[in-house]
A and B are shown apart, each in its own frame.
Chain A
Amino acid sequence: MKVLMKGNEALSEAAIRAGATLYFGYPITPQNEIGEYMSRRLPMVPGGAYIQAETEVASINMVYGAVCTGRRALTSSSSPGISLMMEGISYLAGAELPAVIVSIMRGGPGLGNINPEQADYFQATKGGGHGSYRMIALAPASVQEMTDLTVLAFDLADKYRNPVMVLADGNLGQMMEPVELQDSYPSTHDHSGWALTGPKGRKGHTVTSIYLDADEMEEYVHKLYRKYDEIERQETRFEEFQTEDAEVVIVAYGIVSRVVRSAVESLRQDGIKAGMVRPITLWPYPKAPLQRLARQAKFFLACEMSMGQMVEDVMLSVNGVRPVYFYGRSGGNVPTPAEVVAAVKQRM
């Protein structure tokens, strides 16, 4: 049965039904509905706990502690708060801990504003925190996907023992759409081989990320990168829309992909063979469809609510074979289909 829900609340309910009954977070707009929802629901859930942390730094470290026990836990924030979590995310990756972080992007840099943007793409996909690590980043484009990709995020986090970010924006967090949820999303992952529950009947387990010896550290980083290679092979997700014969390929993720969908239809009506590739995983990035389409397309256009971040991954994928252009809006302005159509026609 479908129910009408706000993106942030639907995501929260999906997390609970996926067993994430521990939530740690600090208020920041436009994602406050997540913490508020969790504070209402979790006291009613067996084993549930909601803590309003003192800072986002503490939130992510509470997640670090909670997931050490093998349980699922969630934190969420928006741009400036996610910046504060970067140390913790690096530690989660370094210690190979499964954790899900929800980032509901707002305008920046600095204090910016509370309008939706996509300007934290670099932060989510290129590091943000220190050291050689990768974080899986999932980009929903609807309220339904806010729930589906949150459930997937927990599954991937557990499967690879790696932090996973659900990267959405203020639009997706705030808007209401019909959504269908299962009663529960059971986990099939067994963490008993490493989780910290006290060494009853076994040798002690240790979770750490320090390797003082150069060769030992390098060997560990290589092990992490073998895992990241596997994630790239197994978990890259994307959607193609009208690309079969596309001569113009527009690349957009999240809320912007919905604008671009309308723009593609409009361009088709004008006789321009346009199509769209929508990355669902931002890391690992769907290079393969772009490489394939580079053989048929005249040019690519990356469309984002930023000054141009994902466009760099489009360029790396296309690798100079075809021109890659960019159209973006900032400050919380959402590109309109007409603007995207005009941006395409300008390059014809």
Chain B
Amino acid sequence: MQKVFERPKSLNDRPFHYCPGCGHGIVHRMIAEALDELGLQERTVLISPVGCSVFAYWYFETDNVQAAHGRAPAVGTGLKRANPDSIVISYQGDGDLASSGTAEIIHAAARGENFTVIFINNAIYGMTGGQMAPTTLVGQATSTSPYGRDPKFAGHPIHVSEMLASLKAPRYIERTSLNNVANLTRTKRAIKKALDLQNKGEGFTFVEVLAPCPTNWGVDPGEAIDWMESTMMPEYPLGVFRDVKGAEVKS
């Protein structure tokens, strides 16, 4: 019998520890498929962040390093500058990337570091139990914004892709979503494109993925998708924010 679907060789045979309806497992698989398809697995070093995906390294048949909260783009800079032949992926969530690590992500992007950042934006802190994130929407209730995020004292969500797209060096920046099959396909395509550009030495690539967190949003997986479409996606428009050769290319 012909096998038509199997685990990518860049993924281990280990069940994901993520909650039902979580986006991490989907994106992990997409990264692994892209690495397989591009033939990059044996050169890849994946950086696990602090957050629910702190154990991303459990799943990837690559070399792996775990980084301090927010610091992954600095770690990625060191990895890539020390070994330009490697393929470096920084996998980060919104608390990690858009709060603790704002300096690191902006400056890695501004330098045009030749690695790929996969940014999982689920508008909330997952691992610590559903606190307000820098990407939490106005009015969204979390464990530390129990009456809904109030812009009068908690400000407005940060749009990371748009912010990074204002810089000259980044090669490719796209925001995608996990809400339906068409957007899953777009997400996979964006991840593969980012890794391909890195492999060609073209510079900093960044894919922001809007992802559901049913557990901390306090809804079931179906309702989580509904909320993404009704509330989250209007705040975070999908699309390519930058797709031009950077000012300078690191190899």
Which residues of chain A have a CB within 8 Å of any CB of chain B?
22, 24, 49, 51, 53-55, 57-59, 61-69, 71, 73, 87-88, 91, 95, 196-201, 204-210
Contact = CB atoms under 8 A, between A and B. Distances in A.
Interface of B: 41-45, 47-48, 54-55, 57, 60-68, 71, 74-83, 85-87, 103-104, 106-107, 111
B66 A57 contact: no
A209 B69 CA distance: 13
8 contacts: A63-B78, A64-B74, A65-B74, A73-B78, A73-B82, A95-B66, A199-B61, A207-B64
Nearest to A195: B63
B71 A204 contact: no
A83 to B, nearest CB: 15
A24 to B, nearest CB: 7
Contact of B65 (A57, A73, A206): A206
A69 B103 contact: no
B76 A65 contact: yes
* Residue in B67, B74, B87 whose Cβ sees the most chain A Cβ within 10 Å: B74
The 5 closest A-B CB pairs, nearest first, are: A65-B78, A66-B78, A61-B74, A65-B75, A54-B107
Contacts of B65: 65, 68, 95, 196, 206-208
Contacts of B104: 54, 57-58, 61
B192 to A, nearest CB: 18
B64 A198 contact: no
B217 to A, nearest CB: 25
Interface centre among A53, A65, A67, A196 (most CB of B within 10 A): A65
Contacts of B74: 53, 57-59, 61-62, 64-65
B77 A62 contact: yes
Contact of B78 (A68, A204, A210): A68
Given A51-B81, A51-B111, A69-B79, A61 B86 contact: no
Nearest to A206: B64
B82 A71 contact: yes
A206 B46 CA distance: 9
Nearest to B42: A200
Contacts of B81: 22, 49, 51, 62, 66
